[in-house]
Amino acid sequence: MTVTILPTNEVRDRIGSLLNRLRETGEPILISRHGQAEAVLLSMDRYNAMMGLLEDREDELDTTLGQRVQEEREAYLRGEGRDFEAFVVELGP
Protein backbone atom coordinates (compact mmCIF):
# COMPACT_ATOMS: atom_id res chain seq x y z
CA MET A 1 0.00 0.00 0.00
CA THR A 2 1.34 3.39 -0.99
CA VAL A 3 0.99 6.27 1.46
CA THR A 4 1.12 9.78 0.04
CA ILE A 5 2.41 12.49 2.39
CA LEU A 6 1.27 16.04 1.71
CA PRO A 7 1.58 19.30 3.64
CA THR A 8 -1.61 21.00 4.84
CA ASN A 9 -1.41 23.81 2.31
CA GLU A 10 -1.28 21.35 -0.59
CA VAL A 11 -4.21 19.39 0.83
CA ARG A 12 -6.19 22.61 1.14
CA ASP A 13 -5.43 23.56 -2.47
CA ARG A 14 -6.16 20.08 -3.89
CA ILE A 15 -8.89 18.69 -1.64
CA GLY A 16 -11.31 17.95 -4.49
CA SER A 17 -8.81 15.93 -6.52
CA LEU A 18 -7.53 14.21 -3.37
CA LEU A 19 -11.05 13.08 -2.47
CA ASN A 20 -11.47 11.72 -6.00
CA ARG A 21 -8.16 9.89 -5.64
CA LEU A 22 -9.27 8.41 -2.31
CA ARG A 23 -12.46 7.13 -3.88
CA GLU A 24 -10.57 5.62 -6.81
CA THR A 25 -7.55 4.09 -5.06
CA GLY A 26 -8.55 3.77 -1.43
CA GLU A 27 -4.97 4.64 -0.50
CA PRO A 28 -4.66 6.86 2.60
CA ILE A 29 -3.13 10.34 2.45
CA LEU A 30 -0.99 11.47 5.35
CA ILE A 31 -1.25 15.18 6.12
CA SER A 32 1.77 16.91 7.61
CA ARG A 33 2.28 20.29 9.21
CA HIS A 34 5.73 21.74 9.77
CA GLY A 35 7.19 18.39 8.74
CA GLN A 36 5.25 16.42 11.35
CA ALA A 37 2.39 14.00 10.71
CA GLU A 38 -0.91 15.55 11.84
CA ALA A 39 -3.75 13.54 10.30
CA VAL A 40 -4.70 10.89 7.77
CA LEU A 41 -7.36 11.10 5.08
CA LEU A 42 -9.10 7.77 4.55
CA SER A 43 -11.87 6.69 2.25
CA MET A 44 -15.15 6.04 4.03
CA ASP A 45 -14.92 2.37 3.05
CA ARG A 46 -11.49 2.05 4.66
CA TYR A 47 -12.60 4.04 7.73
CA ASN A 48 -15.74 1.91 8.18
CA ALA A 49 -13.72 -1.29 7.79
CA MET A 50 -11.18 -0.15 10.38
CA MET A 51 -13.89 0.94 12.81
CA GLY A 52 -15.65 -2.40 12.37
CA LEU A 53 -12.45 -4.26 13.23
CA LEU A 54 -11.85 -2.02 16.22
CA GLU A 55 -15.39 -2.48 17.50
CA ASP A 56 -15.12 -6.24 17.07
CA ARG A 57 -11.86 -6.26 19.03
CA GLU A 58 -13.36 -4.10 21.78
CA ASP A 59 -16.31 -6.50 21.98
CA GLU A 60 -13.88 -9.42 22.31
CA LEU A 61 -11.99 -7.65 25.09
CA ASP A 62 -15.20 -6.70 26.88
CA THR A 63 -16.41 -10.30 26.69
CA THR A 64 -13.09 -11.65 27.93
CA LEU A 65 -12.97 -9.13 30.76
CA GLY A 66 -16.57 -9.89 31.68
CA GLN A 67 -15.78 -13.60 31.81
CA ARG A 68 -12.69 -13.01 33.97
CA VAL A 69 -14.63 -10.80 36.39
CA GLN A 70 -17.40 -13.42 36.63
CA GLU A 71 -14.86 -16.17 37.32
CA GLU A 72 -13.26 -14.08 40.08
CA ARG A 73 -16.69 -13.28 41.54
CA GLU A 74 -17.55 -16.99 41.66
CA ALA A 75 -14.18 -17.80 43.25
CA TYR A 76 -14.82 -15.15 45.88
CA LEU A 77 -18.23 -16.64 46.68
CA ARG A 78 -16.55 -20.04 47.13
CA GLY A 79 -14.12 -18.44 49.59
CA GLU A 80 -11.26 -18.51 47.09
CA GLY A 81 -11.15 -14.76 46.53
CA ARG A 82 -7.94 -12.84 46.22
CA ASP A 83 -6.67 -9.32 46.48
CA PHE A 84 -8.38 -6.95 44.03
CA GLU A 85 -5.13 -5.13 43.20
CA ALA A 86 -3.48 -8.43 42.24
CA PHE A 87 -6.38 -9.18 39.90
CA VAL A 88 -6.10 -5.76 38.26
CA VAL A 89 -2.35 -6.14 37.82
CA GLU A 90 -2.90 -9.55 36.21
CA LEU A 91 -5.34 -8.02 33.73
CA GLY A 92 -2.67 -5.61 32.54
CA PRO A 93 -3.12 -2.30 30.72
The residue extents of the domains of the chain are 4-42, 55-91
Phi-psi region of 28 (alpha: psi -120 to 50; beta: other; left: phi over 0): beta
The superfamily in CATH containing domain 4-42 is: YefM-like domain (3.40.1620.10)
For the chain, what is the mean pLDDT? Answer: 88
Q: Is 0.75 topped by the overall pTM?
A: no
- pLDDT higher than 80, residue 53: yes
Distance CA 47, CA 54 (A): 10
32 — pLDDT class (breaks 50, 70, 90): very high
- pLDDT number for residue 17: 96
Specify the higher pLDDT residue, 11 or 66: 11
DSSP state of 38: E
- pLDDT number for residue 66: 82
